[in-house]
């Protein structure tokens, strides 16, 4: 990442001042949300505040907040912000750099701490540089400032995870290494109903999906779609049991706490959708979604009783049905899950951007991401061939 660009040079009078804020609570919600907006729920002040005040995000958990506020000289009101964390590990990021950390360790060099601009535990693409306007001087200044901050903190690197495509390209133009990944998303092409959606499938895949749904119904499950205030404290406790079970089954501690979810229920109800799978009136599984401007984000799932295809119904088919009925454009289903392809979730590229302080490691990592990108693009093309749509529809895009 260059220290200078045509828009900004450290030798010039700086176009911005920058302030580091160690708690989101020290930034007024109105100031932060004026920059972040409300279309992308995971950077709302209330979401980040719930993470910090519930103790899920802190120096103790390896996520030390260091949010940056940028202002024009002589102005008090910030015109831009950057969510930022000083990380002591690579957990909860979903852009895997364990091999990079291992290489540093083999050469006796510290990879941690590192700086990360992301939403903790949330692999959903969205804004990362929050700004009031599109001043071309901001990004060069920010990147130059991040170099200085990294050196001051003895951080090995700066990573921007799941940025919007335009920001990923802009960071690449500033000299960051651009890394490509893959996720699976569902797109609403004006479907009138779930059955209308299934009409786009080829005959065999359509029959298979209908059988999956029938098996869930035959097992006695019914579903409730609860929004906002309809999610009672008792239901939050029940849902947390589901969520925690997915971690306990793997012998791990959940990243998030009941307190975190309860705080969201109080402060961000308009963004929440809880789908409960019930049998004989008892909730046995649940999936928590977040509603954005035109997107439904599938985030957390769990169950206390396994049943064939229950996961697919709760996490995918119920969400698709909700999007169709409410006119939402897509479902962002988060990380991993090739099984989503045959259910109509299209493989799509994701991005991250990385500044590596040491030139020797930067060269090696640049070669790695270049080779990885070729493999990812090859996979995206091959995976799209397994989409269930009838010929001529399988490459339909957003």
pLDDT, residue 62, reads: 96
pLDDT reading at 1 higher than 70:
no
What SS3 class is residue 12? coil
pTM for this model (two decimals)? 0.94
pLDDT reading at 203 higher than 50:
yes
- φ, ψ (nearest 5 deg) of residue 79: -110, -5
What SS3 class is residue 382? helix
* Beta-sheet strand order (sheet of 63-65): 63-65, 85-87, 114-117, 157-161, 346-356, 177-187, 330-332, 295-303, 282-291, 272-279, 221-227
Write the pLDDT tens digit of every residue in 166-182. 999 999 999 999 999 99
Rounded to whole angstroms, the Cα distance separating 8 from 199 reads 54
- φ, ψ (nearest 5 deg) of residue 371: -70, -40
pLDDT reading at 344 higher than 80:
yes
Mean pLDDT of the region 73-101:
96
The model's confidence at residue 362, banded by pLDDT at 50, 70 and 90, is very high
Q: Comparing C-alpha atoms, which of 277, 276, 285, 383 is closest to residue 337?
A: 383
The ranges assigned to domains in the chain are 17-181+349-384, 189-328
DSSP code of 345? P
Rounded to whole angstroms, the Cα distance separating 148 from 140 reads 13
Structure tokens belonging to residue 176: 């960051």
Q: Comparing C-alpha atoms, which of 9, 374, 340, 368 is closest to residue 185?
A: 340
Count of CB atoms situated within 10 Å of the CB of 353:
26
Q: Is-contact 181 376, C-beta < 8 A?
A: yes
Q: Which helix (H) or strand (E) holds 277?
A: strand 272-279
Q: Is-contact 126 75, C-beta < 8 A?
A: no
pLDDT, residue 14, reads: 82
Q: What's the CATH class of domain 189-328?
A: alpha beta
pLDDT, residue 5, reads: 34
Q: 196-203 long-range contacts, Cβ below 8 Å, gap at least 24?
A: 196/324, 197/320, 197/324, 197/344, 200/344, 200/389, 200/390, 200/393, 200/396, 201/344, 201/388, 201/389, 201/390, 202/388, 202/389, 202/390, 202/391
% of the chain surpassing 70 pLDDT: 95
Structure tokens belonging to residue 62: 């390896």
Structure tokens belonging to residue 91: 């957990």
Question: Which residues on adjacent β-strands are paired with residue 300?
Answer: 288
* Beta-sheet strand order (sheet of 130-131): 17-21, 67-71, 80-82, 130-131
pLDDT reading at 356 higher than 70:
yes
pLDDT, residue 189, reads: 97
Residues present in the chain in total: 398
CATH for the stretch 17-181+349-384:
3.40.630.30
pLDDT, residue 10, reads: 55
Mean pLDDT of the region 95-119:
97
Mean pLDDT of the region 173-200:
97
Count of CB atoms situated within 10 Å of the CB of 301:
21
Contacts of 251 (CB under 8 A, 6+ apart): none
Structure tokens belonging to residue 57: 């995000």
Q: Which residue has the tokens 């006119």?
A: 327
pLDDT, residue 336, reads: 82
pLDDT reading at 275 higher than 50:
yes
Write the pLDDT tens digit of every residue in 368-394. 999 999 999 999 999 999 999 998 654
pLDDT averaged over every residue in the chain: 94
Cis peptide bond prior to 113, omega within 30° of 0: yes
pLDDT reading at 2 higher than 60:
no
pLDDT reading at 253 higher than 70:
yes
Q: Comparing C-alpha atoms, which of 56, 49, 42 is closest to residue 28?
A: 49
Q: Is-contact 187 329, C-beta < 8 A?
A: yes
- φ, ψ (nearest 5 deg) of residue 330: -160, 165
Structure tokens belonging to residue 299: 């985030």
The model's confidence at residue 396, banded by pLDDT at 50, 70 and 90, is very low
Write the pLDDT tens digit of every residue in 3-45. 333 344 555 578 999 999 999 999 999 999 999 999 999 999 9
pLDDT, residue 391, reads: 81
% of the chain surpassing 90 pLDDT: 91
How far CA 153 is from CA of 23, 157, 236, 379, in Å, comes to 17, 10, 39, 38
């Amino acid at each position: 990442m260059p220290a200078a660009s045509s828009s900004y040079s450290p030798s010039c009078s700086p176009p911005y001042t920058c302030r580091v804020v160690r708690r989101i609570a020290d930034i007024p919600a109105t100031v932060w949300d004026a920059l972040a907006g409300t279309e992308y729920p995971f950077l709302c002040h209330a979401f980040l505040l719930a993470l910090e005040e519930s103790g899920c995000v802190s120096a103790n958990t390896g996520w030390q907040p260091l949010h940056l506020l940028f202002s024009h000289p002589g102005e008090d009101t910030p015109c831009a912000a950057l969510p930022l964390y000083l990380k002591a590990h690579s957990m909860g990021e979903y852009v895997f750099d364990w091999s990079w950390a291992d290489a540093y360790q083999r050469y006796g060099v510290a990879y941690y701490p590192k700086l990360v601009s992301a939403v903790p535990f949330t692999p959903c693409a969205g804004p990362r540089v929050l700004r009031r306007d599109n001043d071309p001087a901001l990004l060069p200044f920010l990147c130059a400032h991040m170099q200085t901050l990294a050196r001051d903190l003895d951080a090995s690197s700066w990573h921007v995870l799941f940025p919007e495509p335009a920001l990923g390209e802009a960071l690449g133009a500033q000299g960051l290494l651009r890394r490509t990944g893959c996720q699976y998303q569902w797109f609403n092409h004006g479907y009138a109903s779930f059955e209308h959606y299934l009409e786009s499938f080829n005959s065999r895949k359509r029959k298979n999906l209908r059988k999956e749904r029938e098996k869930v119904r035959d097992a006695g499950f019914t579903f409730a779609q609860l929004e906002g205030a309809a999610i009672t404290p008792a239901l939050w406790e029940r849902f947390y049991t589901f969520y925690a079970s997915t971690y306990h089954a793997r012998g791990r501690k959940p990243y998030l706490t009941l307190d975190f979810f309860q705080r969201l229920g109080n402060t961000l109800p308009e963004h929440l959708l809880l789908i409960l799978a019930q049998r004989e009136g008892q909730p046995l599984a649940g999936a928590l979604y977040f509603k954005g401007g035109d997107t439904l984000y599938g985030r957390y799932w769990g169950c206390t009783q396994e049943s064939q295809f229950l996961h697919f119904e709760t996490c995918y088919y119920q969400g698709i049905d909700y999007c169709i009925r409410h006119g939402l454009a897509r479902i962002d289903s988060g990380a991993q899950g090739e099984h989503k392809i045959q259910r109509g979730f299209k493989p799509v590229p994701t991005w991250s951007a990385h500044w590596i302080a040491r030139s020797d490691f930067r060269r090696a990592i640049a070669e790695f991401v270049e080779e990885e990108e070729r493999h990812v693009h090859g996979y995206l093309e091959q995976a799209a061939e397994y989409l269930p749509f009838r010929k001529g529809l399988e490459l339909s895009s957003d």
